[in-house]
A and B are shown apart, each in its own frame.
Chain A
Amino acid sequence: MKSINLTFETGHIYGLLGRNGAGKSTLLNLINNRMFVSDGTIALDGHPIKNNEQALNQLFMTSEDTLYPGDMRVKKMWRTTQDFYGTFDWSFAKRLARNFNLDPNFKLKKLSTGNRSIAKLITALGAPTKFIFLDEPTLGMDATNRDIFYQALLEKFGSGDQSLILSTHLIQEVEKMIDHIFVIDHGQLIEDQSVEAVQSHAFAISGSETLIKEHIASSKIMSVEPFGKQYKVYVRNYNLADLPDSLHAESLDLQAYFVKLTNRGTF
Chain B
Amino acid sequence: MKFKATTLYNFKQQGLTLIYFMVGVVLFTVALPLLGIIFTSNAQIHSATNLVVLFTIINFIGGYITLAQKNFNLFIQNGVGRHTIINSVLSVNVVFALINALLAQGIHGTFNTKYFQIRFMNFIDDFYGPNSSYGTHNIVWRFLFILLVLFAIANLGSILGAFWSRFGRIPRIILILLVIFTPTILMNVYRLLSATTQANVKIIIAQLIGIQAHSGIEPLMTLLVIGILTGLMVYVLNFKRELKRS
Contacts and interface: CB of A to CB of B under 8 A. Distances in A.
Contacts of B70: 69
A145 interface: no
Interface in A1-35: 25, 29, 32-35
Interface stretch (B143-151, B156-164, B213-221, B237-245): B237-245
B79 A80 contact: no
Interface of B: 1-2, 5-6, 8-9, 70, 73-74, 76-84, 240, 242-243, 245-246
Contacts of B81: 33, 51-53, 56
Interface in A44-75: 51-53, 56-57, 59-61, 65, 67-69
Interface stretch (A81-89, A110-118, A158-166, A251-259): A81-89
B240 A81 contact: no
B243 A34 contact: yes
A36 interface: yes
Contact of B245 (A25, A51, A83, A84): A25
A84 B80 contact: yes
A36 B240 contact: yes
A61 B77 CA distance: 7
A133 B41 CA distance: 68
B211 to A, nearest CB: 38
Nearest to B82: A51
A53 B79 contact: yes
A52 B82 CA distance: 9
A136 to B, nearest CB: 13
A68 B74 contact: yes
Interface residues of A, number: 25
Contact of A60 (B9, B74, B79, B243): B79
Contacts of A35: 242-243
25 contacts: A25-B245, A29-B245, A33-B81, A35-B243, A36-B240, A51-B81, A52-B81, A56-B80, A60-B79, A61-B77, A65-B246, A67-B74, A68-B74, A68-B77, A80-B5, A80-B74, A80-B78, A81-B78, A84-B1, A84-B2, A84-B6, A84-B79, A84-B80, A85-B79, A86-B1
A25 B246 CA distance: 12
A83 B82 contact: no
B192 to A, nearest CB: 46
Q: Considering residues B2, B9, B77, which has the most beta carbons from chain A within 10 angstroms of its beta carbon? A: B77
A56 B2 CA distance: 10
Nearest to A81: B78
Contacts of B242: 34-36
B182 to A, nearest CB: 31
A84 B82 contact: no
Nearest to B239: A51
Contacts of A51: 81-83
A137 to B, nearest CB: 15
Nearest to B4: A83
Nearest to B2: A53
A5 B5 CA distance: 34
